[in-house]
Amino acid sequence: MKKIGLVYIKGAVPGFENFGELPTHLVKSNGLVDGKKASNELDALIIPGGTLLESGDISDDLSKEIKQIAKDGKPIIGVCAGLQLLANQTDIGRKSEVPIIKEGLGLIDVNLSPLISSDRVNAKVYDNSFITKGQNEDVTGFHTHTYGKIEGDAKPLFYSKIQRMNYGDVNKKSEYNIFSGACNDDGNVIGTMIHNILDENPIIRNNLLNYIDASSEDIEYIFAKNKEVKSKINMEVGIDSGHKIEKLSGEFLKYKNNGKGPKFLMIGSNGSDSGKTFILTGLAGALRKRGLKVALMKVGPDARDIVPGLYLTNGKMEDYGSIKIGHLGWMDIKLAIDKLNKSDYDIVLIEGVMSVFTGLLNEKVPYSASEIAMSSDIPMLLMSGVNKGGIESAAVDLVAHANMLKKLGVTVEAILLNKVYNQNIFENVVPYIKNNTQVKNVLNVSKLKIDGRGFTPEVEIRYDLFSKYALECVEENIDINTIASMAKNVNFNRIVPFEEIKNKVI
């Protein structure tokens, strides 16, 4: 029977997409499949996205097996970080004074460097490999990457039509403006920045099956084994973290979706650099560890922020993972909530964007996290980092934010001060917060001492380390049952008109 491997190492996100339901076996850093060399066992290999180069779990054994599979003419498909691994090199030095070069395997003659994109895309197809045979229409999928600039002499496969890159609108003419896929000279080693390439494009998936001469019996076997692979992936939090997913029991049973839809909670803040991504990541991992199925969403276009959380949950980047505000993002909140309420997720965590009020007075609606919360009565955990203005200033700012949210009709279930450096000062501001708001839960997370790159989502991140610290920090500082109890079932109500918002604010 035909076997298709999926690389499963620290930093990878194997649950991020379904890869056409094709992977039948996991390939770990030792390069083995069922105790035998992957190159002898597999008919094809898929390398998922993640932070593969940054996390450094690519052993010599695994590298040798990948190269041998390529040499044998078997197909290899690398997506996002998978392409980086197959390429010559990647400069991961975003916001660095000098390039920070990570070497790839040199199987595809391209180099990559910083370019941010988190768009849903259509991509033009070039017939330079078996994988694109008969694909006469654009392929679809999504980008979510930090190092997406591809340069080199490899044969092109895809050029994506991207509207936004590096946080700005750049494609007013709607052109195919980004080199997003390439292959080696023989066409069997393929790399692309387009996620869901195998899920959304049946011709691409079938071309892979045809290339390995998969019979109907093989295909039946592949789909059956894929269910086993997914089951294995969903036995642990993250990859080789030491945290197994527990059987849902005890006080957490009441949060299970019993046909009534999942419960929602938004993580909002008073500004950027508050640590929303860190806290959401830790909460996602902690809730998943306790047996709950957790969906993650981001307000606005930068879906990259929820990927560390998906690393811990081994969850899928859903088509509603990015909530549309104005013209930015993937899916309107109404459709997103309607789809989630028909899903089997237990809890939905939503990460806000910048301050909950950023964009509130833009005449386009909705244009802020607070408006998304208002639209569906989504409860909020409101937080602030204290590293810039101190604990006292953060407390004053959070009180003002909480009271304005109340005025807008948003329920603030808890206030959280992040990066707290002095517990005595925190204890002294708690009465002030409680006396000046109607918020009963005032929480804090202690400041972590972390040095070096790899911990800033917008610059450089290692999913394995970032998520490890986030999970440990959240479990040490926050009662997870208390957080789960804040989440509520919701239904879309309405988008509040601009004039109504303006009257409430002014």
pLDDT tens-digit readout, 418-432? 999 999 999 999 999
Q: Which of 161-175, 304-318, 459-473, 479-493 has the lowest mean pLDDT?
A: 161-175
Q: How confident is the model at residue 175 (pLDDT cuts 50, 70, 90)?
A: confident
312 CB-contact burial (10 Å; exposed 0-12 / middle 13-18 / buried 19+): buried
pLDDT band at 318 (very low <50, low <70, confident <90, very high): very high
Question: By the 8 A CB rule, do 140 and 200 touch?
Answer: yes
Q: Is the pLDDT of residue 89 over 90?
A: yes
Amino acid, single-letter form, for residue 475: E
Tell whether the model's pLDDT for residue 146 goes beyond 90: no
Confidence of residue 455 (pLDDT cuts 50, 70, 90): low
pLDDT band, residue 474 (cuts 50/70/90): very high
Taking the C-alpha atoms of residue 460 and residue 462, their distance in angstroms, rounded to an integer, is: 7
pLDDT of residue 163: 84
In angstroms, the CA 483 to CA 220 distance is 42
Helix 333-340 and helix 369-376, axial crossing angle in degrees, nearest 10: 50
Rounded-to-integer distance, Cα 69 and Cα 38, Å: 8
Ranges for all domains in the chain classified under CATH 3.40.50.880: 4-233
- CA separation, residue 214 to residues 2, 72, 134, 169, 204 (Å): 7, 17, 18, 43, 14
Closest listed residue to residue 481, CA positions, set 309, 250, 162, 242 = 250
Assess contact for 365 and 498: CB atoms under 8 A.
Answer: yes
What confidence score (pLDDT) does residue 457 get? 66
Locus of tokens 């990948």: 66
* Whether the model pTM is above 0.85: yes
Just give the CATH number of 4-233: 3.40.50.880
**Two tokens, residue 374:** 């208002």
Q: Is the pLDDT assigned to residue 288 strictly greater than 70?
A: yes
Quick one: pLDDT at residue 171? 73
Answer yes or no: is pLDDT of 283 > 90: yes
User: How far apart are the C-alpha atoms of 264 and 486, rounded to whole Å?
Assistant: 8
Pull the structure tokens for residue 163.
Answer: 């509207």
CB 230 within 8 A of CB 16: no
Asked if the model's pLDDT at residue 452 lies above 80, the reply is: no
The per-residue pLDDT for 144 is 94
Q: How far is it, in rounded angstroms, from Cα 383 to Cα 464?
A: 24
CA 6 from centroid of its chain's CA atoms: 18
Q: What is the pLDDT of residues 380-390, one digit of tens each?
A: 999 999 988 99
Please list the residue range(s) of the chain that carry CATH number 3.40.50.300: 261-505
Residues in contact with 317: Cβ distance below 8 Å, sequence separation at least 6, in sequence order: 16, 17, 142, 144, 195, 303, 306, 307, 310
Give mean pLDDT, residues 239-247.
96
Q: What share of the chain is helix, strand, coil (3-state, %, to 5)?
A: 35, 25, 40
Question: For position 454, what pLDDT does the model report?
Answer: 59
> pLDDT, tens digit, for every residue of 8-30?
999 999 999 999 999 999 999 99
Confidence of residue 100 (pLDDT cuts 50, 70, 90): confident
User: 332-338: long-range contacts at Cβ-Cβ below 8 A with a sequence spacing of 24 or more?
Assistant: 333/366, 333/372, 333/375, 333/376, 333/492, 333/495, 334/375, 334/492, 336/297, 337/264, 337/376, 337/490, 337/491, 337/492, 338/492
Query: What does the pLDDT look like over 180-238, one tens digit per residue?
Result: 999 999 999 999 999 999 999 999 999 999 999 999 999 999 999 999 999 999 999 99
Residue 156's Cβ-count burial label (10 Å; 0-12, 13-18, 19+) is middle
What is the average pLDDT value for the chain, to the nearest integer? 95
Residue 453 — very low, low, confident or very high, per pLDDT cuts 50/70/90?
Answer: low
Is the domain defined by 261-505 classed in CATH 3.40.50.300? Answer: yes
Question: Distance (Å, rounded) from C-alpha 8 to C-alpha 17?
Answer: 13
How large a percentage of the chain has pLDDT more than 90?
89
Confidence of residue 169 (pLDDT cuts 50, 70, 90): confident
Of the two residues 455 and 216, the one the predictor is more confident about is 216
Which of 232, 198, 202, 200 lies closest to 82, judged by CA?
A: 198
Residue 2 has pLDDT above 70, yes or no: yes
Span 337-349, pLDDT tens digits: 999 999 999 999 9
User: In sequence order, what are the beta bridge partners of 182?
Assistant: 156, 191
Contact residues for 446 (Cβ-Cβ < 8 A; gap 6+) = 419, 420, 421, 423, 473, 476, 477
Whether the predicted pLDDT of 366 surpasses 90: yes
Determine the distance from the C-alpha atom of residue 147 to the mean position of all C-alpha atoms in its chain, rounded to a whole number. 15
Round to whole Å and give the CA distance between 24 and 42. 9
Radius of gyration of the chain (CA): 23
